[in-house]
Chains A and B, each alone.
Chain A
Amino acid sequence: MSKDELKLTEQQWDRLALLRSMLRIRRIEEAIAERYAEQEMRCPTHLCIGQEAIAVGVSAVLSRDDVVFSNHRAHGHYIAKGGNVRALIAELYGRSTGCCGGRGGSMHLIDLDVGFMGATPIVGGTVPLAVGSAWAASLKDEKRVSVVFFGDGCFEEGVVHESLNFAALHKLPILFVCENNEFSVYTRMSERQPDRPIYRIAEAHGMAAYHGDGNDVEEVLSIAEAAMDRARNGGGPQFIELSTYRWREHCGPNFDDHLNYRSESEIESGLKDCPIANFASRLELSNILTQSVMDSFEAEFSEEIADAFEFALSSAKPSSKEAGERVYA
């Protein structure tokens, strides 16, 4: 399927690519969720289903040289940056061909070939690392921008504020992306923070800061594009807060609505605000998306996913004898 075959303009094609990228992440994560019950992916796993627009909208404006750091909920960030999907699935299965050779699992992802520098699950841990990477770029006069994804809960960590201050002080080329899904595990914002916008605090640290609808991929893209443009051109650190909603349990493959920590109406409106469905209907209305395009995406992804799982499951299992390697460089 190509732009010309579909008779789309460059711009229309790019819009379609956003949908494609979100849908791809969704399908990969749904496959993970479905097969998790087989008990062969034996690691804590945090899915970003419902939040794909942020990873996709931001990554769409990054170049290959720009680098990304992330957190426990990293699959979408990794895939959107171009991370190797076979190596992701193999990592979940603890295989030698995984992106960490099996040492990390879902919560620890890396793909240096595409500038995905590392995702780790100690909340806040990678935020200063991204600042450090931006610092190195600035010290070495390299053009890349550093990007870090983190949650609303993470914004409560002291190290985040220390990082914002340092980045602002040194006017570093960094984009902070706060994914505000209102929750830290089961705890909503109102039990953790006073009622005031997160991005305004970043602003008070001395940087440009914006807020947007994290479920609208085009809004994410346009905010990120402007921010990246400033970051690339000496505008110093940029902060964007994007509102979104986590569909499934904090950790694990299932829905956990039976726990009653969010009301039925809240869940209903959360699910209704699907970044993929909303954008798909917008594209349909603009005659960019048709059922046959959708079908071809689905066919492509199910093939890619089947291949990645097969790759993972047929990959070598590391031996316990290797466990002691790699402690020192």
Chain B
Amino acid sequence: MPESGMREITYAQAIREGLDQAMEQDANVIVIGEGVPDPKAIFNTTAELREKYGARRVFDMPLSENGVTGVCIGAALSGMRPVMIHQRIDFALLAMDQLVNNAAKWHYMFDGKASVPLVVRVIVGRGWGQGPQHSQSLQAMFSLVPGLKVIMPTTAHDAKGMLISAIEDNNPVMFIEHRWLHQIKDTVPETYYRVPLGQSKVLHEGDTVTVAAFSHMAVEALIAAKALMSVMGIAIEVLDMRSVSPLDVASVLRSVRKTGRLIVADTAFRTGSVAGELITQVVEQAFSALKLPPARIALPDHPMPTSPFMAEHYYPGPETIVAAVADMLGIDKNSDAYIKLTGLLVREGPHDTPNPGFTGPF
């Protein structure tokens, strides 16, 4: 179906619309999660779905993440297309057994005789003291399990289109949202459309450095790219990776062959990260195209501290990306232009909220 009826809506609204239209298309699509029909409706991503589709398709659930995941897998094996939602990805850890041992393996171990069309929406928390157990970014953990697809759409347009593709997909898909993306607006078609899984997208063209970024880091990379362009006339190429598994290595290789330099920006812990995997694949396949060792921008290898004072420099941002670009290109960090550039990147308001209007607690 063509994409038409463009208007600006938020990421959260786009997800809601994607769910709504997928439920309209296919009566087997059901939605379940803690808080789905409640007044907050999972940050408004499930608002009014129960009113529209009824209590036989839209469910709250007991606090039984592992059991209900298994129940959803069983339903998926028997003709339903469940979308399960966790308000934090950290809660999905309780369901690892079902996701890893059953959902991911069923199609393979039974010789392709059955498949698990399940979507699990999980949200990565950040800011306002989310702390050690409500802020993890666990894409790498899921990505090391063959049989699971793992996607991290960044824009509202892609969130809707990739959610629809995920629901239509016959495999289990982990749909990872970053909490700080929910309020960001984008041009989104009114129609039912698909954005394919496993393909990255160029957000900003350039020929000096390739910045391959995941989820919210793609937003940060785009800010960095625009600032570098406007102040210094330097064009970096920003790829929004959009998917973790399958990983679109081919597009990164194509870009790196042009730029010769690679930075990968991830939302997760550095060691064992998807960023590390992407760099490995590029080094394996295009070593000679690289003018410099690739760089990783990721979280330090320790949990997020709750205290805002301790957390202040925990998350990398556009300034981290710009500094890495400057290092690669040999830009003098004491130059007037660079100082002007970093001045532009100073964020307004507190470091632990997505925007100055956010007043906690969630």
- Interface set of A (CB-CB < 8 Å, partner B): 36, 39, 42-45, 94-95, 98, 100-108, 120-124, 153-154, 156-159, 184-187, 191-193, 251-253, 259-261, 317-320, 322-324, 327
Whether the pair B39, A261 counts as a contact (CB closer than 8 A) is yes
Whether the pair A327, B360 counts as a contact (CB closer than 8 A) is no
Whether the pair B361, A45 counts as a contact (CB closer than 8 A) is yes
A102 in contact with B361 given A43-B129, A121-B133 (CB within 8 Å)? no
Residues of B within 8 A of A120 (CB): 133
Residues of A within 8 A of B342 (CB): none
Not counting A42-B360, A102-B307, a sample of 20 additional A-B residue pairs whose C-beta atoms are within 8 angstroms of each other reads A36-B360, A42-B350, A43-B128, A94-B306, A94-B307, A103-B305, A103-B306, A104-B306, A123-B63, A123-B91, A124-B94, A156-B63, A156-B64, A184-B63, A185-B35, A192-B62, A260-B39, A318-B309, A323-B305, A327-B301
A105 in contact with B34 given A39-B359, A158-B67, A322-B310 (CB within 8 Å)? no
Whether the pair A319, B301 counts as a contact (CB closer than 8 A) is no
Residues of B within 8 A of A317 (CB): 307, 309
Residues of B within 8 A of A102 (CB): 305-307, 309-310
Min CB–CB distance B43 → chain A (angstroms): 13
What CA separation (Å) do A138 and B55 show in the bound complex?
A: 48
Whether the pair A108, B132 counts as a contact (CB closer than 8 A) is yes
18 A-B residue pairs with CB within 8 Å: A42-B352, A43-B128, A44-B128, A44-B129, A44-B130, A44-B134, A94-B310, A103-B303, A103-B310, A157-B65, A251-B362, A252-B360, A252-B361, A252-B362, A261-B38, A318-B307, A320-B311, A323-B310
Residues of B within 8 A of A104 (CB): 131-132, 306
Whether the pair A105, B129 counts as a contact (CB closer than 8 A) is yes
Residues of A within 8 A of B132 (CB): 103-104, 108
Q: Which of B60, B302, B309, B314 contacts A191 (CB 8 A)?
A: B60
Whether the pair B311, A327 counts as a contact (CB closer than 8 A) is no
Whether the pair A187, B35 counts as a contact (CB closer than 8 A) is yes
Residues of A within 8 A of B40 (CB): 186, 259
Residues of B within 8 A of A108 (CB): 131-133, 306
Whether the pair B62, A323 counts as a contact (CB closer than 8 A) is no
What CA separation (Å) do A122 and B91 show in the bound complex?
A: 7
A44 in contact with B311 given A102-B306, A327-B303 (CB within 8 Å)? no
Min CB–CB distance A8 → chain B (angstroms): 42
Secondary structure at chain B's binding surface: helix, strand, loop or mixed? loop
What CA separation (Å) do A278 and B91 show in the bound complex?
A: 38
Q: Which of B38, B134, B350, B360 contacts A185 (CB 8 A)?
A: B38
CB-nearest residue of chain A to B65: A157
What CA separation (Å) do A120 and B308 show in the bound complex?
A: 19
Whether the pair A187, B60 counts as a contact (CB closer than 8 A) is yes
Report the count of interface residues on B (CB-CB < 8 A).
44
What CA separation (Å) do A291 and B314 show in the bound complex?
A: 51
CB-nearest residue of chain B to A105: B306
- Interface flag for B312 (CB, 8 Å): yes
A157 in contact with B64 given A102-B307, A186-B35 (CB within 8 Å)? yes
* Interface positions of B from 83 to 100, Cβ below 8 Å from A: 90-91, 93-94
What CA separation (Å) do A301 and B267 show in the bound complex?
A: 44
Min CB–CB distance B328 → chain A (angstroms): 25
What CA separation (Å) do A323 and B90 show in the bound complex?
A: 20
Whether the pair A319, B310 counts as a contact (CB closer than 8 A) is yes
Closest 6 CB pairs of A and B: A43-B129, A94-B307, A102-B307, A105-B306, A156-B62, A186-B38
Q: Which of A43, A100, A154, A320 contacts B361 (CB 8 A)?
A: A43
Q: Which of A106, A157, A186, A252 contacts B39 (CB 8 A)?
A: A186
Q: Looking at A45, A318, A322, which has the most chain B CB atoms within 10 Å of its CB?
A: A318
What CA separation (Å) do A124 and B63 show in the bound complex?
A: 9
- Interface flag for B300 (CB, 8 Å): yes
Whether the pair B307, A157 counts as a contact (CB closer than 8 A) is no
Q: Which of A39, A105, A124 contacts B131 (CB 8 A)?
A: A105
- Interface flag for B347 (CB, 8 Å): no
CB-nearest residue of chain A to B308: A42
Residues of B within 8 A of A36 (CB): 360-361
Residues of B within 8 A of A105 (CB): 129, 131, 306-307
Whether the pair A157, B309 counts as a contact (CB closer than 8 A) is no
Q: Which of A42, A98, A185 contacts B34 (CB 8 A)?
A: A185
Min CB–CB distance A157 → chain B (angstroms): 5
Min CB–CB distance B121 → chain A (angstroms): 17
Whether the pair B64, A158 counts as a contact (CB closer than 8 A) is yes
Residues of B within 8 A of A193 (CB): 62
Whether the pair A42, B310 counts as a contact (CB closer than 8 A) is no
What CA separation (Å) do A42 and B306 show in the bound complex?
A: 8
- Interface flag for B77 (CB, 8 Å): no
What CA separation (Å) do A103 and B304 show in the bound complex?
A: 8
Q: Looking at B34, B312, B313, B362, which has the most chain A CB atoms within 10 Å of its CB?
A: B34
Min CB–CB distance A185 → chain B (angstroms): 6
Residues of A within 8 A of B93 (CB): 122
Whether the pair B90, A43 counts as a contact (CB closer than 8 A) is no
Min CB–CB distance A307 → chain B (angstroms): 21
What CA separation (Å) do A187 and B58 show in the bound complex?
A: 14
